[in-house]
């Protein structure tokens, strides 16, 4: 049997209530907004003419609900797998708190920004500039998107990369063995690390990426 050219279709969940309200979501449960449901429909349209037989999601409802309209146009998908190695990065103590609350905490005595500073990546531009002004440009650069720094009880980018790398290794084996294409409904930071590995990007490039809600990343599996 001639082997087919295998492909992965990777996309982020739609906007959630936490995204809308400026909260650090992490691995907390958060429902899609009306805008998020529109994002999901956009993804479904982009994938309508793509061929895949397997879908992967995480246990979080935003991953499942974004996948639903995709599957509506792909009745041929009979196998749906759940794999939390592609779940969002954990923000530990920061999960559920607002970006404004985070900014206010910066000024508290004894607050270690080098521990929490990687969370700056999720701030709205206006708040990001506020943090930069407070810290100064050099200090801001030193902590912004810290690669190995995690919030207490949470994960760093490096931690997420370890689990995503294992996921990709197993995914490739599965796809080659079964000769199937796969669609994956994932999360911003797991997608960031998936892209880093597949595109052989460096840390600086990886941390500069913004992962849109309505974009499909397509990869050939060799």
Q: Which domain holds residue 50?
A: 6-90+155-221
Quick one: how far is CA 36 from the chain centroid?
15
122 and 191 fall within a common domain: no
Average pLDDT over residues 109-135: 57
**Which regions of the chain does DSSP assign to beta strands (E)?**
6-12, 54-57, 79-82, 182-186, 216-221
210 and 176 fall within a common domain: yes
74 and 168 fall within a common domain: yes
Q: Quote the tokens at residue 105.
A: 């905490």
Tens-digit pLDDT profile for residues 102-112: 666 655 544 44
What pLDDT does 151 receive?
67
Tens-digit pLDDT profile for residues 158-208: 999 999 999 999 999 999 999 999 999 999 999 999 999 999 999 888 988
- Among the listed residues 34, 56, 12, the one whose alpha carbon sits nearest the alpha carbon of residue 210: 12
Cβ atoms of 68 and 41 closer than 8 Å? no
11 and 72 fall within a common domain: yes
By CB neighbour count within 10 A (0-12 exposed, 13-18 middle, 19+ buried), where does 208 fall?
A: exposed
For residue 211, give the 3-state DSSP assignment: coil
45 and 100 fall within a common domain: no
What pLDDT does 131 receive?
65
Q: Is residue 61 part of a domain?
A: yes
173 and 205 fall within a common domain: yes
Domains contained in the chain, number: 2
100 and 165 fall within a common domain: no
Top pLDDT among 197 and 136 is at 197
Q: Is residue 126 part of a domain?
A: yes
| pLDDT exceeds cutoff 70 at 141 | no
Answering whether pTM is above 0.85, one says no
67 and 105 fall within a common domain: no
Tens-digit pLDDT profile for residues 57-103: 999 999 999 999 999 999 999 999 999 999 998 878 777 777 667 66
Q: Is residue 148 part of a domain?
A: no
Per-residue pLDDT band for 115 (boundaries 50, 70, 90) equals very low
Q: Is residue 82 part of a domain?
A: yes
* Residues forming beta bridges with residue 57, ordered by sequence position: 82
Q: Which of 109, 143, 177 finishes a domain?
A: 143
């Amino acid at each position: 049997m001639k082997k087919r050219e295998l492909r992965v279709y990777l996309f982020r969940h739609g906007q959630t209530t936490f995204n809308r309200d400026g909260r650090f979501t992490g691995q907390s449960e958060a429902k899609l907004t009306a805008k998020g449901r529109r994002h999901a429909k956009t993804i479904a349209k982009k994938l309508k003419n793509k061929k895949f037989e397997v879908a992967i999601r995480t246990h979080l409802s935003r991953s499942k609900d974004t996948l639903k309209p995709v599957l509506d146009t792909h009745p041929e998908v009979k196998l749906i797998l759940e794999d939390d190695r592609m779940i969002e990065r954990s923000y530990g103590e920061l999960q559920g708190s607002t970006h404004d609350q985070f900014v206010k905490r910066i000024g508290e005595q004894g607050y270690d920004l080098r521990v929490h500073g990687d969370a700056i990546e999720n701030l709205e531009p206006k708040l990001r500039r506020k943090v930069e002004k407070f810290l100064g440009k050099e200090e801001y650069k030193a902590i912004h998107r810290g690669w190995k720094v995690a919030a207490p009880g949470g994960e760093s980018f490096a931690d997420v990369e370890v689990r995503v790398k294992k996921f990709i290794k197993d995914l490739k084996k599965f796809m080659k063995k079964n000769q199937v294409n796969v669609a994956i409904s994932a999360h911003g930071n797991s997608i960031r690390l998936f892209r880093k590995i597949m595109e052989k990007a460096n840390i600086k490039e990886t941390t500069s990426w913004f992962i849109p809600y309505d974009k499909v990343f397509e990869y050939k599996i060799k």
